Amino acid sequence: MHNAGLGSWPERRLMMTPERDAIWFEGTTVSHGEFAFRVRRVAAALAGLGVGPGDRVAWFSANHPSALETLYACGQLGAIWVPVNARLTSDEVEYILTHSGASAVVLGAEQAVHAGDLLQRAPAVRSWITIEPPGGHATAARGILSYERLLGEAQAVPRDEPVSLDDPCLIMYTSGTTGRPKGAVLTHGNMTWNAVNQLLGFDLTPEERTLALAPLFHIGGLNGTVNPTLLRGGCAVIVRRFDPAATLDIIVQQRINSFFAVPAMLDAMAREPGFATADLSALRTVAAAGAPLPLPTLRTWLARGMTVQQAYGMTEAAPGCTVLDSADAERKAGSAGKPVFFTDLQVIRPDGTGAAPDEVGEVIVSGPNIMAGYWQEPGRTAEVLVDGWYHTGDAGSLDTEGFLYIRDRYKDMIISGGENVYPAEVESALLELPGVLEAAVIGVPDEQWGEVGLAILVTSPDGPGDPGVFTAALRERLAGFKVPRHFRFAAALPKTATGKIRKADLRAQFSDLGTQSAVLEVEHCGRREPADGASR
């Protein structure tokens, strides 16, 4: 084949294992052979709309098989796929469409409500396509095409465009929690090498049934286990969105072997009444990444008999950097493991020299899975890609055996009285306390110490209302300088689509806290109480 990229994968499976299950979605199963023909039709439909090599095709939807169909179809055309977060506003989507220069947009049913605004705001987009039936004549009248109708009219002709591993495969925009999002350009080589790394790290089999649970518009949802499973010849079971109880039912009914999830998802499922008795006997491994996995959540899942393999990665690495091998999952609980097979990793000091064992420094990674750069942003690319190494901005350490421990983002680190405090460590300790459902720790200004910690907690209705209880409990677990000086209670914490806490929002909300008195008013279950500051 002249096509060395992802577009060749369905064609190779068509030759090798056409009868095996490839996709399950809402009761319908599609074989690898049927999937290959659908990808061909999508490619033909897009080509008929003028999409060619180098053109960008945006996909804006909740989880749906069309994500994978359009991704692989773009790979067959030499076009570039641009997944868009389904939760974004029209303003945010407009920026991504304009910045990427998308010429076609595939919309989910719920996202089609943005079409009216976007048609006016993104005039450079030539074609608008809705995945599910258009919402009445008004939608059709605006020139929005039907995805299934286009496929029905297209011919499933094979094509073999010359696509190399160095060619761009997709542009995935970061969450943009601070400033405008950046578009990480991942090549076909990045995607292929990541899939190989994941296959080796998670022991995916040809009979694999993996759950596409996390959003496919995020790198973990797309490349954690889904694309590697399709490469291996297994089946991706796609759920439209995350619902804890419904997800447990799907895991049982579909005999799921593996899935990727962020800790918030695992915690929500573990709190379901049916979790303790659900038949999880087919579930071999759970890949957890996106945020530090609290030990109480880890222990709850380990107690059900499967392996929880913590991993570390980011969009810019497609995403795999490290994985904790199943043999070490309990012995090294809390570690993100060792580098995946074809990726190198170091922890360095600010002066660029290597950090000693257990010394915290910046994590940098290198390998064939590392992005080509940020789309149309050479300056930002040069800041993070230095001499072949991607500088992650994450603070971590390696133990004497080479296992990585992620401490926090450098930007989240609190420097209090000259001591470094890593919020993730404090949050993990808080989550082990009775009554604490969620916890976030941020730094706020302090006249005496420079910075001190502020803990924002979500507690159960019968949880303690006196911050002094938490202060006392933490002082038994942590050094005094690590204990938050301030506490606030909230009904919920702001999160991204993948369940990460939006700390930038919390910093903005509590930006004036350092000018206030150390004795604060806090809200808890409808009543107001004074918060005691923790002494050092």
Residue 66 token pair: 């069309």
Q: What is the DSSP string of 277-304?
A: TS--TT--EEEE-SS---HHHHHHHHTT
pLDDT along the chain (536 residues), means of 10: 97 98 98 98 98 98 97 98 90 93 95 84 93 56 85 97 98 71 96 97 96 95 97 98 96 98 90 96 92 80 90 95 85 90 97 96 97 97 97 94 87 78 86 92 86 93 87 89 92 80 87 48 31 36
- Helix axes 8-16 and 66-77, enclosed angle (nearest 10): 110
Q: Hey, how many other C-beta atoms are within 10 angstroms of the C-beta on 129?
A: 25
CB 323 within 8 A of CB 287: yes
- pLDDT the model gives residue 149: 96
- pLDDT the model gives residue 138: 40
- Helix axes 467-475 and 423-431, enclosed angle (nearest 10): 110
Please report, for the chain, the start and end positions of each structural domain, with discontinuous segments joined by +.
Answer: 8-398, 413-531
- pLDDT the model gives residue 358: 95
- pLDDT the model gives residue 460: 92
Name the strand (E) or helix (H) holding 231: helix 226-232
- pTM equals 0.83
DSSP letter (8 states) at residue 322? E
Q: What is the DSSP string of 515-529?
A: GS-SSEEEEETTEEE
For 146, 178, 482, the CA distances from 85, given in Å and listed in that order, are 21, 16, 35
Name the strand (E) or helix (H) holding 235: strand 235-238
- pLDDT the model gives residue 238: 98
CB 441 within 8 A of CB 427: yes
Instruction: Compute the distance between CA of residue 318 and CA of residue 368 in angstroms, rounded to an integer.
Output: 10
Tokens 């974004």 belong to residue? 88
Beta strands in 142-218 (DSSP E): 144-146, 168-173, 183-187, 209-212
Contacts of 330 (CB under 8 A, 6+ apart): 302
Instruction: Compute the distance between CA of residue 457 and CA of residue 115 in angstroms, rounded to an integer.
Output: 38
Superfamily the domain 8-398 falls into: ANL, N-terminal domain (3.40.50.12780)
Amino acid at the residue 128: W
Instruction: Compute the distance between CA of residue 406 and CA of residue 247 in angstroms, rounded to an integer.
Output: 28
CB 486 within 8 A of CB 520: yes
- pLDDT the model gives residue 7: 98
Name the strand (E) or helix (H) holding 25: strand 21-25
- Angle, CA of 239, 244 and 245, to the nearest 5°: 95
Q: Hey, how many other C-beta atoms are within 10 angstroms of the C-beta on 141?
A: 9
Q: Hey, how many other C-beta atoms are within 10 angstroms of the C-beta on 469?
A: 16
DSSP letter (8 states) at residue 154? S
Residue 165 token pair: 């591993």
The CATH topology of domain 413-531 is GMP Synthetase; Chain A, domain 3 (3.30.300)
For 137, 152, 388, 527, the CA distances from 43, given in Å and listed in that order, are 27, 12, 34, 59
